[in-house]
A and B are shown apart, each in its own frame.
Chain A
Amino acid sequence: MPSLDALLPWRRMKALGILGMNKRNGHYIAGYNKRANYPLVDDKVQTKNLAEVAGVAVPKLYALVEIEKHISALSEQLKAYDDFVVKPAHGSGGEGILVIIGRSAHGYRKNNGQIISEQEFGFHISNILSGMYSLSGLPDAALIEYRVKFDPIFADVSYQGVPDIRTIVFQGIPVMAMIRLPTRLSDGKANLHQGAIGVGINLATGQTTSGVSYESFVDQHPDTGSTIIGLPIPNWDDILELTAQCYDLAGLGYIGIDIVLDHELGPLMLEMNARPGLSIQLANRCGLQKRLESIETMENIPISIKDRVALAKQFEAN
C-alpha cells in the first residue's frame, strides 16, 4: 500500500526538504535578515565599498553616474577603457545591465554583437537614473565597472555573457551553490528566469553535478551542446572562502552571493542578494531545508572562515 507521503505531492516535497517561497520569506528572510542591513546589499555602490574595505575582491569601478548631467561627460571618462559593464546600483535579476565589449566607429559594441550609438548608450543610463530598473522605482545611480573576462573553462558552456556562481550562505556557512550559464534564450544574461541554465555544484569537490533549464532537468548546454556535468570549478576553495567572508560584510543571515571567475583576477564578488531564489534546489536536485535546519540546530557557529567552509563541505558527505 502506498504511504500517504507518496500520494500527496506536498508531503513528498517536504520529505525531500524542498524550501518553499513562503518558508523562505516568512522564516529565513524575515527571521535572519535585518531590514536595516538591506541597503548594504541592495545598493551595489555600498556593497562595493564594503567589500573593498574588507579586502574582498570585486570588479573595479570605472565611473559612477548619479545625475543626468554626468552622462555627457562619460565618454571622456571612459576613454581609457574599451570594454566595461553598465549596471543600475539597485537593480535586481540582472535587469538593466549593459555589457560593452568594444568600440566601433558609430558607438559601442554590445556583448551580443549589436552596435549602440553614444545617444542610445546615454538613454540607457538615463533610464537607470530615473529608476526604471530599481526595485522600488526610486531614482537610482549607474555603475560602470570592469568587464569580467571569464575563465575559458566555461567557454563551451556559455552563450555570450558571463557565467556566475551563486552560493546561498546561511549564518556564514555556504549551504548550496550553482553556476549559472547564459544561453541564447537568456540573451547572454546569467538569470534563470530569463532562460539561463543553473548547474548544481558539489560543495566538497567543486564539480558541477546536474543542470536545470527553467523547471526541467538538463545535462547539456542547449546552444553549445556540451555537457554541463562534471566540470571542475577552478579555485573552488577560494570561492567558498570568499562567500563565507562576504557574510561578514553584510550581516545578513540568509543571502545569495554571486561570484564570477575572471581568468586573470580570479574570483570576484559581483553582488549580494538578500532574497536569493529557490531554483538552486532544482539545479542541485536537492532541497535546502535540511541543510538550513542542521545549521539552525547548531549551538554555536564557528568564527573562522576555514571551519565554516569545512562545515559546508560536510553537507555533501551526508
Chain B
Amino acid sequence: MKNLHVKLLSLGLILFAAGLIFHKTSHLGLPLLPSEDIDVWSVEARLAFTAKKGSIKAQLALPSLPSDYMIVDENYVSGKYGLAVTHENNNRVAEWAVRQGSGEQVLYYHLQLTQNNQNDTTPPKQVTEKVTLADPQQHSENMTSAISTLLEEVRQKSADTKTFTRELLLRFNAETADENIQLLLRDVRTKKERIELLKIILTDALIPARAINVLLLKEGVRHGKLTPWLQVHDGEKWISFDPTDVKSSLPKNAMLWQTDNQPIFTIDGGKNISLDFAISRHTQEPIRLAEQRARKMDSRTMEFSLFSLPIQTQNVYRILLMVPLGALLIVVLRNLIGIKTFGTFMPILIALAFRETELLWGVILFTFIVALGLTIRFYLEYLQLLLVPRLSAVLTIVIILMTFTTVFSHKLGFEQGLSIALFPMVILAMTIERMSLIWEEHGPSEALQQGIGSLLVAALGFLVMSNDILNHMIFVFPEILLIILAITLILGRYTGYRLTELWRFRATLSKDGH
C-alpha cells in the first residue's frame, strides 16, 4: 500500500519534472548541457532620410522567416515616431509614423542573432510553404525570341531545376556573352535588375523563382547593404543562387532578411533615403542567451527562473541547489552501501567547505584539524570537564587551530590554507567530540573507520557537488530537485540489503554455499 503510494508519488514528481525539462529544452531552447561560449551578432539597421513637408510614414521589412540564424533579441529606436510592427503573409514590417518632421531623420532597428543549431527544426517549415508560379509577362518581340532561344539551349544541357538554373547563370555570367544574352542584358545595370530579368526568364521556363535579400554577417561592418540573391524552387525546397556567379548555396554567414518581392523599405514623405547596416560580433555565455530567448518566447515559465535573481543570490543558490544531490549521495552511501559516517549530513557540510579549499587541501586541512583537536580533546578528558563546557572548549580550540593554520600557511605562502576559515567549525567540534567518544568506547579502529568513512563520503560529495555538468543542469532546471526528491522517496522504501551486509553476514553464506 505504502509502497504503491510512494511509487505513484515519485512517478508523478518525475513526470512533472521531466515534462518541464522537456518543455524548457525543446521549446524554449535551454541547453541541457553546459557548452562553450557562442557568437552573437549584433546588427543595427539604420534607416536615414531627409523629411519632406507633412506627415512621414516609414516602413522597414524585418527578418522573420526561419533561417540559419535565430533572433535572440530585437529593439527599435524610434525617437518621436510611433511604431507598429505588422505581420503580413509571413513577413514582418516595422512601421514608423509621425505627423510632422523636418531635416535629417534616423530610425534604428537593433537585432541580436545567433547561429541556429543545424539539427534544429528549421527545414520542415519550408515544405508547407505554398509555391505559386508568377504570371508570365508580356515582352517585346525580339526579347521573346531571345528568351525562347536561350531556354531551348539551356534545357538541352540540363536535367533538373538546379542544373537548369546553373546552366542559365553560366551563360549570363560568361566572359563573352552570346548575342541573345547581350540583348537581354541591354538595360540591366544593377544586381537587382539582373535578378528581375532572371525571374522573368525562369517564369517562362515554368520554374518558380523569387528574389531574396540576405545580410552577410561580417565583423566590423559599418555601412553594410543587403545583398540580393536568386532563389528557385525545385518542387521541394528553395535553392539559392548568386546572380553574378553560379554558386548554389548561401555562404555560412548569410542571414536571410527578406524573401518577398515587397520593397525592403518605403518612405512616404522623405527623400535621400539610405539603409545601412552595422554589424559586430561578441561572445556570450550560451545559457544567458538561451534564457534571454526563452524569456521572449514564454515569460510565464521563465518568470520562476533563477536567472531573474541578482547575481549574488544566484551564486548562493548555485551552491544550495547542489546540497540535495549531496543528501541523495548520503542516502545511497548509507542505505544502499552501508558506509558509516559521523552524523548524517556532516560529510556534506565538509564537502561544501572543500569547494573553497579544493579536494586535496581540504582533506589535508580537515585531517590536520581533527587529529590535533582529538589530541587536545583527550587531554580535556583528563581534566574531567562537564559536557557542555567541554564542547565549548573543543569549539574554541578548533577555532584557535584554524586561525593558526591560516596565519602559518599564509606566512609559508600556501594560500590554500586561508580558505580553511570556511570550514564549519561547529561541525568540526562535534566530529572531534563524537570521534573521541567512539575512540574510547569502541576502540580506535572503529573511530578511524568512521572518520575515514566520513572523509570518503565528503570527498565523493565534493566531486558530485562540484561537477560542472550537474551544476549547470540543476541551476538551469531546478525541477531536477523534484526528481531527486522522488528518488529519495523511493529509496526511503527500499528494504533490501546494504552492500556491507553482504560482508557482515558472509559467514552465513559460506556455511550455506558448498
Residues of A within 8 A of B (CB): 6, 9-10, 12-14, 16, 18, 20-23, 26-27, 95, 119-120, 123, 126-127, 130-132, 193-194, 212, 215-217, 278, 281-282, 285, 287
Contact = CB atoms under 8 A, between A and B. Distances in A.
Given A22-B498, A127-B387, A285-B511, 16 more contacts: A10-B496, A10-B497, A13-B501, A18-B505, A21-B338, A21-B498, A21-B501, A22-B495, A23-B495, A23-B496, A132-B387, A193-B442, A215-B503, A217-B511, A281-B505, A282-B507
Contacts of B412: none
A22 B442 contact: no
A130 B386 contact: yes
Given A12-B509, A215-B504, A215-B506, A123 B497 contact: no
B303 interface: no
A27 B495 contact: yes
Nearest to A15: B512
A9 B509 contact: yes
B341 to A, nearest CB: 15
29 contacts: A6-B513, A9-B509, A10-B496, A10-B497, A13-B497, A13-B505, A16-B509, A18-B508, A20-B496, A20-B498, A21-B498, A22-B497, A22-B498, A23-B496, A26-B492, A26-B494, A26-B495, A95-B441, A119-B384, A120-B384, A123-B384, A131-B387, A132-B437, A193-B442, A194-B443, A212-B507, A217-B507, A282-B508, A287-B508
A224 to B, nearest CB: 22
Given A22-B335, A23-B495, A16 B508 contact: yes
B316 interface: no
Nearest to A139: B387
Contacts of A132: 387, 437
B388 interface: yes
Nearest to A189: B441
Contacts of B505: 13, 18, 215, 281-282
Interface of B: 335, 338, 384, 386-388, 437, 441-443, 446, 492-498, 501-509, 511-513
Contacts of B443: 194
A12 B501 CA distance: 12
Q: Secondary structure at chain A's binding surface: helix, strand, loop or mixed?
A: helix
Contacts of A126: 386
B513 A13 contact: no
Contacts of A287: 508
Contacts of A21: 338, 498, 501
A130 B387 CA distance: 6
B379 to A, nearest CB: 15
Contacts of A16: 508-509, 512
Contacts of B335: 22
Contacts of B508: 13, 16, 18, 281-282, 285, 287
A274 B100 CA distance: 90
A16 B505 CA distance: 11
Query: Which has the most chain A C-beta neighbours within 10 Å: B388, B443, B504, B509?
Result: B504
Top 6 A-B residue pairs of the complex, sorted by shortest distance between their CB atoms: A130-B387, A23-B495, A20-B497, A123-B384, A26-B495, A9-B502
A311 to B, nearest CB: 24
A26 B3 CA distance: 11
B328 to A, nearest CB: 16
Contacts of B502: 9-10, 13
B343 to A, nearest CB: 11
A124 to B, nearest CB: 9
A183 B33 CA distance: 58
A13 B512 CA distance: 10
Contacts of B494: 22, 26
Contacts of B493: 26
B52 to A, nearest CB: 85
Nearest to B491: A22
B280 to A, nearest CB: 61
Nearest to A93: B441
Contacts of A13: 497, 501-502, 505, 508-509
B6 to A, nearest CB: 11
Contacts of B495: 20, 22-23, 26-27
Nearest to A132: B387
Nearest to A284: B508
A10 B338 CA distance: 14
A114 B264 CA distance: 103
A18 B386 CA distance: 43
Contacts of A215: 503-507
Contacts of B513: 6, 12
Query: Which has the most chain A C-beta neighbours within 10 Å: B384, B388, B441?
Result: B441
Query: Which has the most chain B C-beta neighbours within 10 Å: A26, A123, A127, A216?
Result: A26
Contacts of A285: 507-508, 511
Contacts of A27: 495
Nearest to B335: A22
B322 to A, nearest CB: 26
Contacts of B492: 26
A22 B446 CA distance: 22
A282 B503 CA distance: 12
B427 to A, nearest CB: 15
Contacts of A10: 496-497, 502
B446 to A, nearest CB: 8
A22 B493 CA distance: 8
A197 to B, nearest CB: 14
